[in-house]
Structure 1
Amino acid sequence: MAEPLGELLEFRLGGERYCLDIAYVDEIVTTTDIRSIPNAPDHVTGVTDLRGRTTTVVDPGVVLDVDDERDRTHIVVLDDEELTDTEGTVGWLVEDVRQVITASEDDVDRTPAMDDTPVAGVISNDSEFVVQLDPRTVAT
């Protein structure tokens, strides 16, 4: 029997499907009030105030080189305790949050070509591919 991988939050970037382990997710919010930061790295969209917490908003599409001109208003706020090497609260700006999926290790393709990338694996789901990301390796 396959080892359960767990629940994964599925979202879209550039029209493609991505996911990350739900253990890394603190909450999902919708906002357009993102303030830019002068001289910030390209992947940092800006900051926003979420109930008194300053949250750095990161565009994972820049890190993944995803071309996307779609409006993005969904922020997947990552759990600070799960990402011990980050300072402060970080959220990923995505175009759409789709669903929570359950997968097992047998569902995930992990190849050496994915080493040293933010890609943790590829899951075949509903005859489409869902790229699993490791938030510890996506620029935060």
Structure 2
Amino acid sequence: MNEKFSTTLNQYLTFTLDKELYAMDIAKVREVLEYTDITRVPRTPDFLRGVINVRGRAVPVVDMRLKFGMTRTEETVNTCIIIVEVDVDGENTILGALADSVQEVFDLEPDQIEPAPRLGTRIKTEFIEGMGKNGEQFIIILNIDKIFSAEELAIVKDVEETA
């Protein structure tokens, strides 16, 4: 069992990507926004869809489906942008994570979280903090700090500063 899950109840925000349920630590989430127009930034990776204006600040938006090798997120009435704080190498970056829909915030006891499976998921196992269960449905708990490399975040920061 991972020491991080040792004794306290953990809260997670659940969201969907291509009909699968994912979650991230609620402490990393600043807010959830309805989908809004994203301004494309030239010469950036495909998964970086562009920037949005959040209270006067340019916030880069990442298409989580593209980042995980899925098809591009289609905008629907349920599409949301989750504003998260990512920490890579001790540096905080604010970005928007595009998701098909946001579900709910729920609690998991440490003993309800199992280690990431070695096989059977579409995304890299190093991105996965663990697996949880809500009723009969499995939830892939992401470690948002491990999804983006320092190089990718440097591109995001450049976009943020030039927008």
TM-score (norm 2): 0.74
2:38 to 14, 34, 40: 34
Q: Of Structure 1 and Structure 2, which has the larger fraction of its residues in strand?
A: 1
Q: Of Structure 1 and Structure 2, which has the larger fraction of its residues in helix?
A: 2
**Which is bigger in relative contact order (C-alpha 8 A, separation at least 6)?**
1
C-alpha deviations, 1:68-101, integer Å up to 9, x for none?
A: 6542531100136x664244x2010011110001
Report the alpha carbon displacement of residue 4 of structure 1 after superposing the two structures with TM.
2.9
C-alpha deviations, 1:108-137, integer Å up to 9, x for none?
A: 111473886211111121101110001101
Q: Is 1:9 the equivalent of 2:18? A: no
Q: Hey, what's the Cα distance between the residues in 2 that align with 1:113 and 1:40?
A: 31
Q: Is 1:131 the equivalent of 2:135? A: no
Report the alpha carbon displacement of residue 6 of structure 1 after superposing the two structures with TM.
1.1
Q: Hey, what's the Cα distance between the residues in 2 that align with 1:122 and 1:46?
A: 30
Residue correspondences, number: 137
- Contact (CA 8 Å) 2:85, 2:92: kept in 1 or not? no
C-alpha deviations, 1:43-70, integer Å up to 9, x for none?
A: 1011010110100001121222233654
- Given the superposition, is the C-alpha separation of residues 19 and 61 from structure 1 closer, same or farther in structure 2, using an over 3 Å criterion? same
Q: Which amino acid aligns with 2:126?
A: T
- Contact (CA 8 Å) 2:35, 2:75: kept in 1 or not? no
Q: Which runs of 5+ in 2 are unaligned?
A: 1-5, 154-163
Quote the sequence identity (%).
27
Q: Which amino acid aligns with 2:106?
A: I
Q: Is 1:76 the equivalent of 2:82? A: yes
Partner of 1:94: 99
Q: CA RMSD in A?
A: 2.3
- Contact (CA 8 Å) 1:55, 1:91: kept in 2 or not? yes
